[in-house]
């Protein structure tokens, strides 16, 4: 698809501008790849929120009580779920970035150059995904009955990420999402501040 994006856009400046707003002002191919990497990051964030909220589902479904009645502490029980939320998302991003890099590298006849670029771009989404997972953990721990609001946070970030550029929302609104702070990779300049 990456090689066909130029044909898809053609001479349509409006479509090109939307891709550039979503994926960055670098060349059109990198802008397209960056927007696809952004979508992968948002999917990983939905996975992370689902893993965290599984804790609440286990509690309300009565499945946590028999486990917690044994020698398993609440911390150990929660950690067993949170490993999937945090490390699982890194694996999802790694596999997605690897597949995208391999596919694009084969098509561009440059696997050695494209694979590390796209793998790194996918893994650069990890801090934003973990930020949304942390919001879900906070809601579960502090306000268990309102923990489903983590879906609203993830959905809001998804909406901002995909509708914001098309609607030309101001940067202050885009910055509500942790994804709005990350560089649009591949192709953008990288600094440590957004990741921290």
Mapped onto helix, strand or coil, the DSSP state of residue 111 is helix
- Do 68 and 149 form a contact (C-beta atoms < 8 A)? no
Averaged confidence pLDDT in the chain? 86
Question: In the structure encoding, which two tokens stand for residue 42, read together?
Answer: 């948002």
Contact partners, residue 57, CB within 8 Å, separation at least 6: none
Residue 120, pLDDT score: 94
Query: How far is Cα 134 from Cα 122, in angstroms, rounded to an integer?
Result: 19
**Could you give the C-alpha distances from 192 to 61, 97, 120, 183, in angstroms and in order?**
42, 20, 14, 10
Residue 11, pLDDT score: 63
Residue 195, pLDDT score: 79
Residue 123, pLDDT score: 95
CA-CA-CA-CA torsion for 163, 168, 174, 179, nearest 10 degrees?
A: 60
Residue 132, pLDDT score: 95
- Pick from 152, 193, 192: nearest CA to 176: 152
CA angle 7, 186, 117 (to 5 degrees): 110
Percent of the chain past pLDDT 90, that is, above it, reads 48
How many other CB atoms are there within 10 angstroms of residue 91's CB atom?
11
Q: What would the pLDDT profile of 10-51 be if each residue is shown by its tens digit? A: 666 666 666 666 655 567 788 888 888 999 999 999 999 999
pLDDT-derived band at 157, boundaries 50, 70, 90:
very high
Residue 193, pLDDT score: 80
Q: Is the peptide bond before 83 cis (omega within 30 degrees of 0)?
A: no
Contact partners, residue 168, CB within 8 Å, separation at least 6: 21
Q: How far is CA 119 from the centre of its chain?
A: 14
The pTM of this model reads 0.84
């Amino acid at each position: 698809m990456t090689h066909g994006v130029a044909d898809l856009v053609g001479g349509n400046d409006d479509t090109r501008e939307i891709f550039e707003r979503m994926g960055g002002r670098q060349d059109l191919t990198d802008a397209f790849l960056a927007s696809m990497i952004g979508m992968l990051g948002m999917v990983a964030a939905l996975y992370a929120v689902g893993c965290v909220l599984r804790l609440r589902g286990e509690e309300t479904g009565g499945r946590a009580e028999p486990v917690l009645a044994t020698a398993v502490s609440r911390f150990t029980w929660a950690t067993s779920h949170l490993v999937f939320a945090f490390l699982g998302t890194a694996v999802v991003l790694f596999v997605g970035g690897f597949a995208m890099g391999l596919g694009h590298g084969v098509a561009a006849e440059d696997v050695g150059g494209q694979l590390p670029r796209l793998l790194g771009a996918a893994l650069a989404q990890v801090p934003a995904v973990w930020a949304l997972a942390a919001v879900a953990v906070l809601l579960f721990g502090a306000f268990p009955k309102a923990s489903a609001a983590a879906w609203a946070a993830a959905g809001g970030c998804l909406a901002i990420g995909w509708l914001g550029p098309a609607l030309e929302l101001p940067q202050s609104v885009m910055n509500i999402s942790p994804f709005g702070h990350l560089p649009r990779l591949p192709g953008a300049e990288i600094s440590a501040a957004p990741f921290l």
